[in-house]
Amino acid sequence: MKTRILGVVTLKDDWAVQSFGFNKYLPLGKADIVIENLSKWGADEILVNCIDRSKNSEGPNINILKNIYKRKINTPIIYSGGIRNLNDAKKVINEGADRIAINYSAFSNDVDYFQNLSNFLGSQALILGCSFIKKKNNFLWYDYVNKKLKSISTIEDYFKKNIFSELLLIDSQNEGYNSFDYKVLESVDKKIPKILFGGINVSKIISKLKKFNIKSLGFGNRLNYKEIEIKNIKMKHKNYFRTND
């Protein structure tokens, strides 16, 4: 099966923004309009990534999901941000999201939390999100529960238990720029289905990733520069990505 193109919409303060390393932002506009455009332009799926909901101890952004639903968008929607419990997950699905992505950092020790979500949604609807950094040639993620950096290989247990369908790996250092550190894939079991995001903005990076078993490649800022960008990417790598035929 060919690789999907994931349109990533980063939301901050209810607005779609261009993000650079998740510490610098430029406004794009109303989230539902940006999402509608990505759907029209041919994205295979769309990630609505609300980056400030958990930080501000808020629940999922239900208003954004309601606005997306009103636009009758047919493209599958993945939602991430502020999901604190099973009830939050149910609200997100009831408002039209097809799948949800959960940040591993916030719930790393709570196996029951993940298992309950998986039992309700089914593992196919649940994605494990993991933002990683590179430090002294080691790939690490930050455990917010225990306040320490851990090896990225520690996430593999959840896939042995069949709790999640896919792993969303986010290169947080290169997000918004032109360099995804593909060597991270050597640190994670190659059998785990993966979605990649963060700095996948030039063709030579896409070409390097073709040798790996990647289910979906996420693009953010790049897709907002011109409306035919998704078509251009698919045409240039037509034997790699799904087509809209």
- Beta-bridged to residue 140, according to DSSP, are 133, 151
Looking at the chain, list the stretches that DSSP marks H as alpha helix, in order from N- to C-terminal side: 31-41, 62-70, 86-94, 111-121, 157-160, 203-209, 229-236
Q: What angle do CA 60, 109, 123 make, to 5 degrees?
A: 60
Which has the minimum average pLDDT: 9-13, 32-36, 63-67, 107-111? 107-111
Separation of alpha carbons 28 and 17, rounded Å? 5
Q: For residue 146, is it within any domain?
A: yes
pLDDT of residue 65: 96
pLDDT of residue 73: 93
Q: For residue 133, is it within any domain?
A: yes
Q: Name the DSSP letter for residue 186.
A: G
Q: Residue 71's pLDDT band (boundaries 50, 70, 90)?
A: very high
pLDDT of residue 74: 92
Q: For residue 180, is it within any domain?
A: yes
Examine the pLDDT at 147 and tell me if it is beyond 90.
Answer: no
Separation of alpha carbons 153 and 140, rounded Å? 8
Alpha-carbon dihedral sign for residues 73, 79, 84, 90? positive
Q: What percentage of the chain exceeds 70 in pLDDT?
A: 94
Q: What is the pLDDT of residues 1-44, one digit of tens each?
A: 799 999 999 999 889 998 887 778 899 999 999 999 999 999 99
pLDDT of residue 225: 76
| Arithmetic mean of pLDDT, 237-245 | 81
| Arithmetic mean of pLDDT, 151-167 | 86
Q: For residue 182, is it within any domain?
A: yes
pLDDT of residue 106: 63
Comparing 186 with 225, which gets the higher pLDDT?
186
Examine the pLDDT at 219 and tell me if it is beyond 60.
Answer: yes
Summary mean pLDDT of the chain: 88
Q: For residue 242, is it within any domain?
A: no
| Arithmetic mean of pLDDT, 118-141 | 89
Q: For residue 25, is it within any domain?
A: yes
Separation of alpha carbons 9 and 146, rounded Å? 29
Which has the minimum average pLDDT: 49-58, 96-105, 202-211? 49-58
Q: For residue 115, is it within any domain?
A: yes
Separation of alpha carbons 122 and 51, rounded Å? 24
Examine the pLDDT at 245 and tell me if it is beyond 70.
Answer: no
Q: What is the CATH number of the domain that holds 200?
A: 3.20.20.70
Task: Give me the number of domains the chain comprises.
Answer: 1
In three-state secondary structure terms, 48 is strand
Q: What is the pLDDT of residues 185-217, one digit of tens each?
A: 988 888 999 999 998 987 888 988 888 889 999
Separation of alpha carbons 130 and 166, rounded Å? 11
Task: Kindly state the helix (H) or strand (E) to which residue 12 belongs, with its residue range.
Answer: strand 4-12
Q: Identify the domain containing residue 50 by its residue range.
A: 4-236
Q: For residue 245, is it within any domain?
A: no
